[in-house]
Structure 1
Amino acid sequence: MLRRIWRTTPGLIAITALGFALATAAIGAVAYEITHEALEEQLDHRIAAETSGLLAEAEGGGLPALATAIGRRDAARSTASPEYLLVDNRGTKLAGSVSATVPGKPGFEEFFHYRLASGAGRIGQSLTTVVPGGMLVVAADRADLDQIDHTMGLLFAGALTMIALAGASMALLLGWTIRRRLNRIDTTAQAIIAGDLARRIPRDGSDSEFDRLSATLNRMLDRIETLMDNLRQVSSDIAHDLRTPLTRLHASLDSIAEAADPEERLAQIERARVQMDDILAIFSALLRIAEIEGMSDRLPKERFDLSALIDQMVETYRPDFDDDGRSLHLVAPAGMEVVGDRRLISQALTNLLDNCLRHTPPGTAVTVSIRDGGGLVRITVADDGPGVPVAERPSLFDRFARAELARSTAGHGLGLSMVQAIAQAHGGDARILDDLRGFAVEIGIRTATH
């Protein structure tokens, strides 16, 4: 039972409140004891001062002078006056207005029992002093001290009760508040378990711990929803766009089974192998895009010189462009640095340059440029070829999307999808520029300073 209490919010709050109450009680007990001892010392000091004054007044006169001094003080006594008792060595009372058994040894006694002349019993704090021929007892009534102790006890008990009630009230309020906020999270989690992936935890805008937790969980849910959408998209793409190549492969296999000529059969087997390689390439590209879209938080945080990388790639591709009658140019300042996966960014640039080689006619000029885009390094690959109709451009980043003019060339329509996935995984974006002649794709990569 106690272990379960430690694991519940109300239990932890109740234990905390109990700890505060016990600490308050301990502080109150210490304060009470210190105050009580201070009052007793003050009473002892008063009794000692009274005894010293009385002995000084009767100095040299013996017991008769001391009895006379006690008589004078009894005659002028007030409610605050101490009590006196003077006895000789035989225990006979010589002076004083009280009756009591004289303590057997000199010094202070905390609880001295005596009776007044009226017969009323009292308890006092006393000092017994040996005098020539007898003993002198000076006592002060403890009633005032006991009354102060009683009052302090009531005050501390009242304060402890108020603190306990306040602590219990705050514990209930805090427990209710925490449970209410946790219930919001629980309700949202239950709805998501039931299939409502668009559900999010409400926020109150207070920037409190719960509000920040809600924001973090909402970001996590956004990420999960994005990954689920990607999974559904990949599944849909595979189901829709692989149907045709699989159908062709199935037909090829049927032809192989029916072919009687060995040479024809070998030729059809080779065509089937090419079709299978094509299908495997599509699968590989789809899975790679999905992998890139899901790894933005796990990309290598390598800082490198993007200008140098692009310069190297342009030099590598320039002979291919020259052989086909095209030209490749670079407009890039030196020293542009980014943070990310060097291999993936190289892959994005490779896809864009391959598209230029595949889809532009001889004589086309291709320009690769870099510029600072305010937190992102903007890379543009532009050509002055025939371009793509404006109506077809919005869908070019979709999987398997191909422009009408590009359907006669090799490819699966996944290159720009991969480019976009790589850019977004690096905190950037990818877009088609409409204000340039020909066709231009621009991608943004997070700079090294952001």
Structure 2
Amino acid sequence: MGLAAAALAIGAAAHVVTHEALEEQLDHRIAMETDALLEEARTHGFPALAKVVRLRDGARTSSGLDYLLTDANGRPVAGNIQTSPSPRLGKEELLRFRRGGYPAVGQSLTTNASGGTLTVAGDRSDLDEIDRTLEMLLACALGATLALGTGAAAVISWMTMRRLAEIDATARAFVAGDLSRRIPRDGSSSEFDRLAGTLNQMLEQIGALIENLRQVSSDLAHDLRTPLTRLCNQLEIAAAGSDDGKRMEAIRDARIQADHVLEIFASMLRVAEVESLTARDGFATFDVSDMLVEMAETYEPEFDASGHQLRTDFAAGLVVFGDWQLIAQAVSNLLENILRHTPPGTTALLSVECDTEHVAISLTDDGPGATIDDAERLFRRFVRAETSRSKAGHGLGLTLVRAIAVGHGGEAVLKNGHEGFGVTIRLPRA
């Protein structure tokens, strides 16, 4: 309706402007002709004016002007039109007259001319015909606009409802449990297609979070089963024991198992805190080279005592934006993994590579490494390599490393292409 109203307003304005322009043009012709005839009367007198009017009557064409010349008594002297009553002096927009016995309507100008009265009129039939033509064109244009607007609105409404129905169906299927359902895209780069892409990304993240929650719940239940079972056994032994020494020993063992459970929960909370990005409040610019030097000096005695060797290879003055303590904890987790899960004699290399956008901290070793199947899952919660099952730990160290890297806008990846095992933490440069 808005489009039709706009078309109607524009067409009406064009019609009015065109009509006024044609009327002004006709008035201008009448005025010019009147001036020429009055000049003739002033120069040669009233009889000469009557002669000129008769000549022009005889030479009149279908698009010519009409004349009426009367004397001082109002009797017609020359001209081809008759009026009743006589025309008033001045302009008349709608002068009704007869020409050759046929009625007509025209615009006119009546003036005094050497003792008589001169009327010059222009027939409005051509102007009226143009008006009818313009009105017909306006009606056709309005009809076409209404038809096109209605059709376009129907098509747009159908397309919109179809896309909304697809989004609604996908959302309902997702809510019903089909986490693999996605909104179809047509590749048109339209607003709906871009919206579908954004919503699909959201569904991907929600699906990943739900799947991760399921996995975490399963892994947490699996990993807590053993320490909780041991805790219950130790408490039963302590409750049933008659020997105070054995009872106290059972209570101490139960306390150790409880501490183990609390340690698992503390690690889980730490991972959740980092993944929620609440740690961004403590971000600042700092020299990561100084931090790595300090950590290497701190761990070097422990490496030497356990029969391991730690080497470093990085330049000074590498600056990143982040949380000093979190990044130090990530590197500490990697160093602890080498101490726990590699045999004596293993050499570890702490190195840094940088480009214009990133700083990559890598820790590699020449130990036994991990199988490919293990390597693909090691960043998940509670996942441990088969060779590490007999060692202390919860399988959350690398999970926290990746969470810290992602929380800083970077990533943590396994370093391939060498023997042993390696992890690279890639961070944005300050």
Q: TM-score, normalised by structure 2?
A: 0.88
Match of 1:72 in 2: 55
- Map 1:286-325 to 2 at 5 A: 286-290=268-272, 292-293=274-275, 295=277, 304-325=286-307
For the structure 1 residues 302 and 86, does the alpha-carbon distance in structure 2 shift closer, same or farther, using more than 3 Å as the test? Answer: same
Structure 2's unaligned 5+ residue stretches are none
- Map 1:64-213 to 2 at 5 A: 64-100=47-83, 101-104=85-88, 106-118=89-101, 120-213=102-195
Percent identity (aligned): 48
Which residue identity lines up with residue 94 of structure 1 in the other structure? V
Match of 2:200 in 1: 218
User: Secondary structure at the residue paired with 1:235?
Assistant: helix
- Superposed CA deviations along residues 119-140 of structure 1, whole A, max 9, x for unmatched, are x221110001012323211111
Cα offset for 1:232?
0.5
Structure 1 window deviating more from structure 2 (343-352 vs 285-294): it is 285-294
For the structure 1 residues 327 and 53, does the alpha-carbon distance in structure 2 shift closer, same or farther, using more than 3 Å as the test? Answer: same
Aligned partner (choices 249, 264, 267) of residue 285 of structure 1: 267
The separation in 1 between residues aligned to 2:373 and 2:40, in whole angstroms, is 122
Q: TM-score, normalised by structure 1?
A: 0.84
Which residue identity lines up with residue 247 of structure 1 in the other structure? T
Which residue identity lines up with residue 83 of structure 1 in the other structure? D
Cα offset for 1:351?
1.0
User: Secondary structure at the residue paired with 1:201?
Assistant: coil
Which residue identity lines up with residue 197 of structure 1 in the other structure? L
Instruction: Check if 1:40 corresponds to 2:23.
Output: yes
- Superposed CA deviations along residues 228-253 of structure 1, whole A, max 9, x for unmatched, are 11101110012212111111111122
Contact 2:50/2:77 (8 A) holds in 1: yes
Which residue identity lines up with residue 128 of structure 1 in the other structure? T
Structure 1 window deviating more from structure 2 (367-376 vs 22-31): it is 367-376
Contact 1:337/1:447 (8 A) holds in 2: no
Contact 1:129/1:136 (8 A) holds in 2: yes
Contact 2:313/2:351 (8 A) holds in 1: yes
Which residue identity lines up with residue 285 of structure 1 in the other structure? S
Aligned partner (choices 254, 258, 262) of residue 276 of structure 1: 258
The separation in 2 between residues aligned to 1:248 and 1:161, in whole angstroms, is 86
Cα offset for 1:82?
1.9
Which residue identity lines up with residue 153 of structure 1 in the other structure? E
The separation in 1 between residues aligned to 2:157 and 2:71, in whole angstroms, is 73
- Superposed CA deviations along residues 337-382 of structure 1, whole A, max 9, x for unmatched, are 4455443322221111122333445554432122248965443323
Could you say what the CA RMSD is over the residues aligned between the two structures, in angstroms? 3.0
Structure 1 window deviating more from structure 2 (301-310 vs 271-280): it is 301-310
Which residue identity lines up with residue 189 of structure 1 in the other structure? A
Structure 1 window deviating more from structure 2 (209-218 vs 280-289): it is 280-289
Instruction: Check if 1:445 corresponds to 2:426.
Output: yes
